[in-house]
Structure 1
Amino acid sequence: MTDNLSCILYGKNDIRLEQRSIPKAGPNQLLIRVKTVGICGSDVHFCLHGAIGNFIVKEPMVLGHESAGIVEAVGENVRGFSVGDRVAIEPGIPCRGCQHCKTGRYNLCPDERFFATPPTDGSLARYVTHDADFCFKLPENVSLEEGALCEPLSVAVHACRRAHLQIGQNVLVTGAGPIGFLCLLTAKAMGVSSVVVTDLDDGRLALAKKAGADHIVNVRGKSQDDLRREITSAFGGLMPDVSMECTGAQPCVETAITLTKSGGIVVLIGLGASRIEIPIIEASTREVDIRGIFRYANCYPTALQLIASGKLNLLRDLTTADYQLEDAVKAFERAQKADVIKVFIHC
């Protein structure tokens, strides 16, 4: 093995394909021949801006974190994996020793190393090594593309858990991008009664409707009063029990807070400006709980079960585009067009 072609970000709009040495698996690691990587919005943001918040690309960094592949070598202390196993790769490695890790909320670990988050390299390469306890075998009926989708699906699973979704609830999803789609599908799989999806783009709303949204609402040019009337009408005159805000845009956050029923829950999933104006007094006096999420914890097994059981058919419901690693630059250009929900790169 000599070919470890890697997709490396040097700075704003500066993606290069270069050969790197093939890593060796440590005692507790797997060497994985990467097969499929999905492009995430964060990958595109790093490409366009060279940073996300305090995470700044200061040194060349391999992109990609939504990945699945085939085990090529097994570390000497690893049990339960064999060469040839197909695996989904959970891209974060926490410290395992802090209070957050010990209480099961390892996504909040301050020392977590996460693929394609400076200074940690990602997985958009022929080969990567990863700790075996954050790799998950794919059931026979789960494809490598679906294995890669376990990463964004885990975000949706975590968000739905934070929302405490229950059978029969009404749910508002603001934003019909990839995470909004997956929140829609996961909420439906959890037995909610009705889901309304909002967005600015009629094409994406049509896809959401096809994927199972009970109602869709284009928010372009509409006031908060207009949206209140249209969305509550879609719920049969009721306000949603839960709103899942997937855009990070201030007007959408305001919509989620003002339209959620008193005593309901708003989950903030999308990341926008670090400071925005929100109607916090209304949320307080109506006891609307506002909850954030950061990535996920202990969600990969559930995501895999949702796919393997047939409750979610992601490759049927999500529009996709496929590229080879050699065409990674074209793949990122396609992802910026946002004309499909997910762009895959095959390594």
Structure 2
Amino acid sequence: MSSASGVDSDPASSPIPFPPLKDDEVLLRLDIPSNCGAGLNGPYLGELSNPPSHNTIGYGSAGTVLEAGPKCFLQRDDKVAINLLTPCRRCHACCRDKEYSKCISKSLHTQYTPGMFISLPRALVALLPPPLTLEEGSLIQVLALAVKMVNKADPKPGQGVIVLGVSCLGIIFCLLARARGVRQIMVVDRDDGRLNVARKFVRFLETQSADTVAVMTCVVPEGTDAANGAAAVVQAFGREADVCVNATGEYGLMNVASKTVKSGGVYVHAGVRESEVSWDVLGMWREDITIHGEVCCEDLNYEEAVKMVMLGEVSLREFCPQE
């Protein structure tokens, strides 16, 4: 991959020349780079107590097409959502089969800055049809991950779902679970201010009936140990969870989650990063809990996510900075 810092949208102004594009490559200006783990600009809504006016909520990327190979079926100035990987494009088992997230490269993720020019395989780019904006495009990765997680967890009507952590991912998971007919959902965080952010996006009711969605909240104070934290969550929910989703990526919450899930339930963890984790896997095995760990960039269907937004099945505009 070639990249260079550009002063405007014309790659000819770059001090580093780009080689000719292959038939299935796209040259892009990176307008919104991935900001996963970037502190106050990261994916967690709750961290944004005083968000900048143009902060992008989410950890995806979006950009503008500058040039495209003949097999890409993209035009200059097209807006696109980007799966911002840097595969080697040579390894036989992965890149040659276009399974770029499985590339053996040890530098699959690279830091980028807004305005950089990058070339990527067409398979890592999804067209954003009008009227979708770049800000919405930067959330396509979040939506695609949430879709993958809800498909793995497979929540059903009558089941109870607990979501740990206020984030775009957690909120979108709630919306997708509701669309599947789930009527008991609880969002958990250690800060009530973060939960107030979640309440802007999810309909919260303190009571429930047969024809309403009951979404509750629970505060678990910082420093609470796993057993007491889980006990507080289960007591507030009134039942153990059929499905528990850790939408924060924090491994410290794994043991809390394991104690909130009923025997035979499902635990889904988003954001698998650390190679060494200390958690009660034996206890979850004894309880016959199914565990799914989802890496934020792997095997995501961006095209499906874009289609969902275009069909009005999910709205991302409310998550975007408002003028």
| TM bin (shorter chain) | 0.7 to 0.9
Displacement of 1:66 in angstroms is 2.8
Percent of residue pairs bearing the same amino acid type: 25
Aligned match for 1:26, one of 12, 21, 28: 21
How far off is 1:22 after superposition?
A: 6.0
Do 1:174 and 1:245's aligned partners in 2 also have CA atoms closer than 8 Å? yes
Q: Deviations over 1:235-259 (max 9, x none)?
A: 4x33211111133445521111111
Contact 1:107 1:297 in 2 (8 A): yes
Shift of the 267–67 alpha-carbon distance from structure 1 to 2, 3 Å rule, reads: same
Q: Is the 8 A contact 2:161 2:185 kept in 1?
A: yes
- Following the alignment from structure 1 to structure 2, what is the Cα–Cα distance between the partners of residues 264 and 140? 41
- 1:203 matched to which residue of 2? 193
1:179 to 169, 173, 190: 169
Listed as ranges, the matches of 1:318-333 within 5 Å are: 318=319, 320=321
**Superposed CA offset, 1:41-92 (max 9, x none):** 33459x9xxxxxxxxxxxxxxxx973223322122x4242222322212222
Q: Secondary structure at the match of 2:76?
A: coil
- Whichever structure has more strand as a proportion of its residues is 1
- 1:88-110 per-residue CA deviation (whole Å, 9 max, x = no partner) reads 12222554865567999653332
**Greater CA drift, 104-113 or 264-273:** 104-113
Deviation at 1:33, TM superposition (A): 3.1
Name the residue aligned to 2:315.
Answer: 313
2:191 matched to 1:164?
no
Q: Which residue identity is paired with 1:163?
A: A
Q: Write the distance in 2 (CA, Å) between the matches of 1:103 and 1:286.
A: 38
For residue 144 of structure 1, report the CA deviation from its aligned partner: 1.6
Q: How far apart, CA to CA, are the structure 2 residues paired with 1:96 and 1:257?
A: 40
What is the Cα deviation at residue 20 of structure 1? 5.2
Q: d(CA) in 2 for partners of 1:277 and 1:179?
A: 24
Counterpart secondary structure, 1:261: strand
- Alpha carbon RMSD of aligned pairs, Å? 3.6
Q: Secondary structure at the match of 2:139?
A: helix
Match of 1:67 in 2: 61
2:98 and 2:174 map into 1 onto residues whose CA distance is 26
1:31 and 1:104 mapped to 2: Cα distance?
18
Change over 3 Å in CA distance of 1:155–1:123 after alignment to 2: farther
CA distance in 2, matches of 1:271, 1:129: 27
TM-score (norm 1): 0.68
Contiguous gaps of at least 5 residues in structure 1: 7-18, 48-63, 323-347
Q: How does 1:170-319 map to 2 (within 5 A)?
A: 170-212=160-202, 214-220=215-221, 222=224, 224=226, 227-228=229-230, 230-235=232-237, 237-270=238-271, 274-295=275-296, 296-316=298-318, 318=319
